[in-house]
Structure 1
């Protein structure tokens, strides 16, 4: 098929998403189901109408960054630290329980130990993006519960970084264990340094610029986007995720009087890129491999759906 321009790709994505979203909403399903289904339908492994899903995926990463940035804008630093302390034990114990479940199922279906470990690691984590995207439209919009969920999702992101450092180090050095430990220590040391630099910059530079030029709305918009993407890129450069960097950038200016103004004006931009993100997620599904993994996948999904609420309820109650 002839390669489509980016304009034609956007036309197919957003027009198709509007049609599927109408159907999905009539069936009382989350609207992101429409975006993912559309990606699987017209993406590289479907009808192949949109073939350059990798480019769209890179563009869509901006939506994830804006989503975490806006989430940070709505949370106060003291409240977040209180919730993180409560959520730490829950996040660690639940991750270990889910990893063990995935590992045992992998071994039961004849996968190697390394493959089973990867399956177990995949089961440890929830989708931060999907969880936060659905948060305002479910019963979790209650402030206390919502902040607790966000705290656990962010802690899972940190655990995921550690796991990826360990797995990534296994083949990148003659001494993989040493390489993994070094990367882990480096990341853990740079996180508090990043937080200090970000908050110091906001206090001595960003807030003064906002105060001096707050009558120029276009300037505030540009400054905010530059700050968000800049901290996200800095976090990625030092070994953290861009999402964590964006969240820290949002938290750092959450106490500013202009935080709510910024949040309201960035939401349409966030939603635009998030449509592309969920589309690219669906476009990455290789449906040709479905027959090989359908049985263990269904069993894993079923078990996780059953045991996650039970484990979380028990841990949170205690």
Structure 2
């Protein structure tokens, strides 16, 4: 097992270094290169990586760190205000995207149930892609970044509700009223615990031992993972727990020091995340799903900016900001991959419908990434003028 893991890591990171070099020379986004490498080395192509589940579990840690670092850049008062303003936009846009996805899937001959699941998968935007393409020090403290993050968090809440419904349909789960009440009660409990612990214990420990950089590094990782695991125990997502843990620390000056030191660790796991997306796709089904997937992905990238532009007018947002927010949220979410997996495992949809969702997510990641890096500020923009971090 140990040798296999070392061998897998060698293939992933040595391969990522080679393909990243090629991508930079040809001015392509690194995200797409990592996904392509996963597809090449994965079980359905060369078959050199034989532990996709392990890779998937490890890549999940990258998303947790990403949301934790995002929380460190968010002032609680600004975040609460944005969530209040944008809640109705998140709800209406989700209904619109689900309707478009349902209609497109139905037109390609999928069953009513499969079309509904495809529509649901289209509701959400990718937290990891959106945040990866947000300049850390330029937009997070500006209105555009707050809008993007606020809408992503509201979509996260809706996605959790959808997943709970799917779990309740699963005959093997012990679903009941408690499963739905737990996250409703768990969210305020987690927020309260996090802010009290940070104020009265964590910050005092950091202040006392701030000369020991290794200690701050360890405490930061421990706090991030503690809030993530606690969130899962309370029926929430680990990502949401990590974000709350970051926000609880955001009022302290130490937050920016922690954010800077954890970025390399975050990037390590994010490479695994994008690699796993490519590796988990069954290329033998590509011919059967590529046409509907292209239709859904293009619809997502084109329709989401229009819908958000229209809805954000209700918040008196200027057209430039509204279009940028819409294009940044133009892809399908990693939650869609989880929805596809769950719906397949409980027999709601077939393998082809599941792979349509997976292919749509991958294509929308690629299309949206190109749109953003060619037109808006991002850390990986091709243009020097737009490259901001």
Q: Calculate the TM-score normalised by the size of structure 2.
A: 0.77
Q: How does 1:96-111 map to 2 (within 5 A)?
A: 96-111=95-110
Q: How does 1:46-61 map to 2 (within 5 A)?
A: 46-61=45-60
Distance 1:187 1:292 in 2: 38
Question: Residue 193 of structure 2: which of 188, 192, 197 is its match?
Answer: 197
Distance 1:68 1:211 in 2: 24
Q: How does 1:241-260 map to 2 (within 5 A)?
A: 241-260=237-256
Distance 1:59 1:289 in 2: 26
Q: Which has the higher contact order (CA 8 A, sep 6+)?
A: 1
Is the CA contact (8 Å cut-off) linking 1:39 and 1:282 kept in structure 2? Answer: yes
CA, structure 1 residues 27+88, in 2 after alignment: closer, same or farther (shift >3 Å)?
Answer: farther
Deviations 1:214-248 (A, max 9, x none): 11211111111111001101101211110000000
Q: Secondary structure at the match of 2:122?
A: helix
**1:3 shift after superposition:** 10
After the TM superposition, which of the residue ranges 52-61 and 156-165 deviates more from structure 2?
52-61
Distance 1:191 1:183 in 2: 13
* Partner of residue 297, structure 1: 293
CA, structure 1 residues 215+140, in 2 after alignment: closer, same or farther (shift >3 Å)?
Answer: closer
**Displacement over 3 Å in runs of 4+:** 137-142, 172-176
**1:74 shift after superposition:** 0.8
Structure 2 unmatched runs, 5+: 315-389
Q: How does 1:1-318 map to 2 (within 5 A)?
A: 5-136=4-135, 143-172=142-171, 179=176, 182-318=178-314
**1:163 shift after superposition:** 0.6
Deviations 1:112-135 (A, max 9, x none): 222111101100011111111111
Is the CA contact (8 Å cut-off) linking 1:44 and 1:52 kept in structure 2? Answer: no
Cα-Cα RMSD: 2.2
Distance 1:212 1:138 in 2: 28
Distance 2:147 2:78 in 1: 10
Q: Secondary structure at the match of 1:146?
A: helix
Distance 2:137 2:79 in 1: 20
Distance 2:210 2:283 in 1: 51
Q: Calculate the TM-score normalised by the size of structure 1.
A: 0.93
Distance 1:193 1:60 in 2: 27
CA, structure 1 residues 140+290, in 2 after alignment: closer, same or farther (shift >3 Å)?
Answer: farther
Distance 1:174 1:21 in 2: 42
